[in-house]
Amino acid sequence: GVDCADIILMLIYTGFRIDELLSLTPFSVDLSSGIITWGMKTDAGRDRAVPIHSKILPYVKKWLARGGDTLICNPQGKRYTAGNFRNKHYYRALENIGVSRLPPHSTRHTFASLAFEAKIDTLAVQRIIGHADYSTTANIYTHVDSKYLKKELEKLN
């Protein structure tokens, strides 16, 4: 199978849906500006500008170098379908790295939760993830754990 830990990181650091990442073409990636312009499903999510985080830049370059029809492509340079990728590669990769079997969409929740903990501007998070309203991001996608809540509470004097 494909070693796709890098793809999982790309999902987490872009906030893309699995279908969005798998349908990205090389033309969507502008390395000179460090921006991926892509997105589907909603008006707010369509053709949004998503910065390429420095942690995933090497992986984006690696996949671009494959020269496929899509950024993430099979060895023949063709697009993976979400179902095929999820069942043949994604779940196996999670198992290999010791992560519980969560659906690919959970990477969007991880993105939103990490962005919240890092105190990234809410408008930026909303635009990157492609939600029309930040309340969707905050109320559905952002998960905080008790360790984070304890750390925040300790800020009280």
Which residues are known to be catalytic? 17, 41, 105, 108, 131, 141
CB 69 within 8 A of CB 25: yes
- According to DSSP, the residues that pair with 73 across neighbouring strands are 79
User: Strand 48-51 to strand 29-30: parallel, antiparallel, or no bridges (unpaired)?
Assistant: unpaired
- What is each CA distance from 150 to 2, 5, 12, in whole angstroms? 39, 31, 25
CB 45 within 8 A of CB 128: no
Amino acid letter, 12: I
Cα 25 from Cα 64, distance rounded (Å)? 9
